[in-house]
Chain A
Amino acid sequence: MKKLINSPEAVLADALKGIDAAHPDLRVDHQHRVIYRATPKADGKVALISGGGSGHEPLHGGFVGPGMLDAACCGEVFTSPTPDQMQEATSVVDRGAGVLHIVKNYTGDVMNFEMAGEMAAADSGVRVETVVTDDDVAVQDSTWTAGRRGVGVTVLLEKIVGAAAEEGRDLDAVLDLAKRVNGQGRSMGMALTSCTVPAAGKPTFDLPEDQMEMGVGIHGEPGRRRVPLAGAAEIAEQLVDPILGDLDFTGSPSIVMLNGMGGTPLIELYLMYGEVATLLEKAGVQVARTLVGNYITSLDMAGASVTVLKADDELIRLWDAPVETAGLRWGV
């Protein structure tokens, strides 16, 4: 394992020091491992908290700031944060209008946020609502498994719902919007290589040179199928087809994200986006907005995911609203 770290145990604490040093507009609580806006939003506005294991940067800390999140709870690498972190963050960010927890559908994240909700209900008056994202079409048989995973749509949801909260909508409206965005987004991911979790010290799985994993999540877990490596055009098809097969995207403008898993250069991500755009056009999907880059990653894994969100004029307007975070920044 060759990594830019001091020790596997100190990866998160040391990375938080760097985030603190790099971003004066963020405030880092090193004890609770929570990233806040340095300047809290105005009283009376709904606050948004997300969180999860680390190793997916810029998600979630890179999305804290005006127009997006109010706080991000950071777990160890690929490990959910703990209920006390979420409870602390909830009481800090509440501006009297309640708090929305944005949770990716992974067993650990859901259980920890659930315990945080129970603890918050027991000892503070803050109203908490939760949206659980589950947009990963790679997971089938969802009634028999832990359900579809929450992946790429989480990024789009944090942006769109963040804008709505900034406008001053109440918690019910913010929650409705969050559920609507989740319900209209679909994602599919693939990996060319495994990733190496610092504490494990070696790749999570071995992947021969001539094979790839289709249907990976964002934690270096193996995908659903191991298939022969193919060219970008064919990989794009394998990502786009199950998305379009799961929801009808025609007749509405769409927001599309071509996301890198952390170890794939931008030139390849743009190459892949070209293939994806061709396929979407052929299928009659009207792409209104596009995001290409590393937004929800899996450490050093090489690979990509595609997220398509069926939008409308309102969602596009909220997408275009100003955002001022380390990971997304426009209109400011």
Chain B
Amino acid sequence: MGSLSVVEAVTVDVLVGWLSAFRDAVHEHGAYLTELDSAIGDADHGANLIRGMDAVMAAVASPPEATGDLLKKVGMTLVTSVGGASGPLYGTFFLRMATASGDATSLDGPALLAGLEAGLEGIVARGKAEAGDKTMYDALAPALAAFSSSLDGGASLADAARAAAGAAAAGRDATEPMLALKGRASYLGERSIGHIDPGAASSALLLDSLAGALS
């Protein structure tokens, strides 16, 4: 957490570190994610992300040079290994981030933010979720807003990522009292209230992993 070894250029290696941390996080919290999904979904979110991130780490064992190529590989692997709604959503997130990152071998703060924002736009296009629908959007959107305002305020990449992780966790917790309006949880109507959204919870892990990789 010290500021002596901060990362200011997000290279392919740093991105792989992020993915590796996310893989570890979904393994560690897989049972929790599945428990959340049992309450308002179909009890498979943890297992699906574990399968997907294990496949991702195998696919990037010898990573390409360009960040865009790496992220594209991540997106395609998630799309073809996860299934459900989280496969297309997380897959589209990384595919759009890949397009935004292009041939760059490393990303500075604004470029990383632009990639994350493109990813979130992809999730919105695919899932048509809006703020307050009780989805992963409710964790990701405030996280990217915090990331952006931290960078604008002159924060380091690591501090901006920590702010984003904090906002994602708050966004995750804020889904608890929400009425689900998208996805399988929406079929529960009022009964979806009082449960944290599993997609928001895994999204918070994704941002927490990013903060860890950039610190």
Contact = CB atoms under 8 A, between A and B. Distances in A.
Contact of A221 (B41, B82, B83, B181): B41
Contacts of B48: 76, 79
Contacts of B184: 106-108, 146, 217, 219, 221
A82 B76 CA distance: 10
Contacts of B183: 107, 146
Contact of A79 (B34, B84, B187, B188): B84
Contacts of A221: 40-42, 184, 187-188
A159 interface: no
Interface stretch (B85-93, B103-111, B170-178): B85-93
3 closest residue pairs by CB, A with B = A145-B186, A108-B85, A111-B88
A108 B188 contact: no
Contacts of B181: 144-145
Interface in B60-99: 79-89, 91
Given A78-B43, A221-B42, A111 B189 contact: no
Interface of A: 8, 53, 75-84, 106-108, 111-112, 114-115, 138-141, 144-146, 149, 197, 199-200, 204-205, 217, 219-222, 224
Interface of B: 34, 38-44, 47-48, 51, 79-89, 91, 126-127, 181-184, 186-189, 191
A56 to B, nearest CB: 12
B44 A77 contact: yes
A205 B38 contact: yes
Contacts, number: 114
B80 A219 contact: no
Contacts of B80: 82-84
A282 B184 CA distance: 35
Contacts of B44: 76-79, 197, 199-200
A106 B84 CA distance: 9
Contacts of B83: 53, 75-76, 79-82, 108, 112
A203 B191 CA distance: 18
A145 B191 CA distance: 13
Given A111-B127, A219-B184, A224-B191, A204 B42 contact: yes
Given A82-B87, A112-B87, A139-B187, 11 more contacts: A53-B83, A76-B44, A78-B42, A79-B44, A79-B83, A107-B183, A108-B83, A108-B87, A111-B88, A146-B183, A221-B42
Contacts of A111: 85, 87-89, 126-127
